[in-house]
Chain A
Amino acid sequence: MESYSREKEIVLKIDKISKHFGGLKAVDGISFDLRNKEILAVIGPNGAGKTTTFNLISGVLPLTSGQIYFKDTEITNIQPNKRCKMGIGRTFQIMQLFDDMSVLDNITTGAIFGHANRSLKEAKKKAEEICERLHLTEYKDYDSSELPLAHRKRLEIARAYATGPEILLLDEIMEGLNMVEAKEMVDLIKSIRDEGISVISIDHVMHTVKEMADWVIVVNYGQMLTQGTYNEVVNSPEVIEAYLGKEEED
Chain B
Amino acid sequence: MSAYTLKVRRYQPEAEEDDKRGAYWETFDVELDPTLSVLDGLLQAKNDKDGTLAVRCSCRAAICGSCGVKINGQSTLACKTQLGEAAEEAARMARNGGGEAEIVVEPMGNMPVIKDLVTDMESTHWTKFRRVTPWLLPSGPPPEREYIVPAESMVDVTQSVACIQCGACVSSCLSMEADPDFIGPAALAKAYRFVGDPRDGQTTERLYDLANDPHGMYDCTHCFSCIDACPKGVAPMNQIMRLRRLAGDDHGIRDVNNGHNHEMAFVKNIKKKGTLDESLLLQESYAPGVKGKLMPRVSAIKGLLGSIPTAIRGIKTGKMRSVPKLIPGVHHKLPGDAQGHVEEIYERAEESKIQLNLYIIGEGGEEDHAAEEVEPESVSEEPTTA
Pair from one complex: no
* B interface residues with partner A (beta carbon < 8 Å): none
* A interface residues with partner B (beta carbon < 8 Å): none
